[in-house]
């Protein structure tokens, strides 16, 4: 069976909603025991319970990726229970809308702390165990905004370009340690966050149509479509792939 993660231990940050939630379900359905890690423990417990109800294996874990001690504690917990982590999905992230005139230094720092430092903190906590075992797959959630510039998304794009760079450097540094590091670069995805943002526009339906039209295929992606790509990169079928930024944008960037 392709993309079989039976017997693997996985952890997904930002696992309580959106792409992270879909990724937890997808990895669990492929046979992995999934730790649902999120700053909101209630949401993480809801997702873990749903996985168990469907016959999968899962546990919830409260983790704030911006706090180094939280990340270290997560690594200690997983290592104590299983002696290893096979798959780390660094998915937690936040967004911001604005040009440089509409972006404060505090805005940029806030996004950097979550989107970049969060990936750094979690990877730093778990990669020593992967090095010791000479095995591991890390998948980071970047964005098409880490490949091309997007109007009015200065801080967001800045941090997602950094995630792509961090991914490539980690892949090079640890290729001979048996660790593969890749990232996914989604276009616009119809997540709960995006749906909530749409409600803030004067004409939500027009805003939805505009966002959908950004993609060449005329619609936004689904969290499940991004999760399927994360599963592929985490699986043995992607054994020859490291340092890649997989674009999943419905053709948004095809004309650039």
What is the per-residue pLDDT for 118?
Answer: 98
Could you report the per-residue pLDDT of 14-29, keeping only the tens digit for each?
999 999 999 999 999 9
Residue 155 lies in a domain: yes
Residue 176 lies in a domain: yes
Q: What's the CA gap between 172 and 131, in Å, rounded?
A: 14
pLDDT at 114 over 80: yes
Residue 1 lies in a domain: no
Within 8 A by CB and 6+ apart from 106, the residues are: none
Number of domains in the chain: 1
What is the per-residue pLDDT for 216?
Answer: 96
Within 8 A by CB and 6+ apart from 78, the residues are: 9, 11, 35, 84, 85, 126
What is the per-residue pLDDT for 199?
Answer: 84
Residue 121 lies in a domain: yes
Q: What is the pTM of this model?
A: 0.96
Average pLDDT of span 97-126: 97
User: % helix / strand / coil in the chain, to the nearest 5?
Assistant: 50, 15, 30
C-beta neighbour count of 21 within 10 angstroms: 26
pLDDT at 1 over 80: no
Average pLDDT of span 53-60: 98
The CATH number for 18's domain is: 3.40.50.720
Within 8 A by CB and 6+ apart from 38, the residues are: 13, 14, 15, 16, 17, 20, 44, 60, 61, 62, 63, 92
What is the per-residue pLDDT for 160?
Answer: 98
What is the per-residue pLDDT for 207?
Answer: 86
Q: Is 156 labeled as catalytic in the residue annotation?
A: yes
What is the per-residue pLDDT for 89?
Answer: 99
More reliable by pLDDT, 153 or 192: 153
Residue 140 lies in a domain: yes
Q: What's the CA gap between 54 and 71, in Å, rounded?
A: 28
Residue 256 lies in a domain: no
CA dihedral 114, 200, 256, 102 (to 10 degrees): -60
Catalytic, out of 156, 201, 208, 232: 156
Structural domain including 74 reads: 9-248
Q: What's the CA gap between 65 and 94, in Å, rounded?
A: 12
Residue 2 lies in a domain: no
Average pLDDT score over the chain = 96
Contact 63, 13 (CB under 8 A): yes
Within 8 A by CB and 6+ apart from 129, the residues are: 75, 79, 84, 85, 136
What is the per-residue pLDDT for 197?
Answer: 78
Residue 88 lies in a domain: yes
Q: How confident is the model at residue 194 (pLDDT cuts 50, 70, 90)?
A: confident
What is the per-residue pLDDT for 60?
Answer: 98
pLDDT at 192 over 90: no
């Amino acid at each position: 069976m392709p993309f079989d993660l039976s017997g693997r231990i996985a952890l997904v940050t930002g696992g309580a909603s959106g792409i992270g939630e879909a990724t937890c379900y997808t990895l669990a359905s492929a046979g992995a025991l999934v730790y649902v890690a999120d700053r909101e423990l209630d949401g993480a417990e809801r997702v873990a319970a749903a996985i168990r109800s469907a016959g999968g294996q899962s546990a919830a874990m409260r983790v704030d990726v911006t706090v180094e001690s939280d990340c270290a504690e997560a690594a200690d917990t997983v290592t104590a229970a299983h002696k290893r982590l096979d798959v780390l999905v660094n998915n937690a992230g936040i967004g911001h809308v604005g040009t440089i005139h509409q972006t404060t230094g505090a805005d940029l720092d806030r996004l950097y702390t979550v989107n970049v430092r969060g990936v750094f903190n979690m990877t730093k906590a778990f990669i020593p165990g992967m090095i010791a075992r000479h095995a591991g797959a890390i998948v980071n959630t970047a964005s098409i905004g880490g490949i091309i510039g997007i109007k009015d998304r200065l801080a967001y794009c800045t941090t997602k370009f950094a995630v792509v760079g961090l991914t490539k450097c980690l892949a090079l540094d640890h290729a001979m340690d048996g660790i593969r590091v890749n990232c996914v670069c989604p276009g616009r995805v119809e997540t709960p966050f995006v749906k909530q943002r749409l409600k803030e526009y004067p004409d939500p339906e027009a805003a939805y149509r505009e966002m959908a039209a950004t993609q060449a295929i005329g619609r936004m992606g689904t969290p499940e479509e991004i999760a399927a790509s994360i599963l592929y990169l985490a699986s043995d079928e992607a054994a020859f792939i490291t340092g890649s930024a997989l674009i999943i944008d419905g053709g948004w960037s095809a004309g650039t």
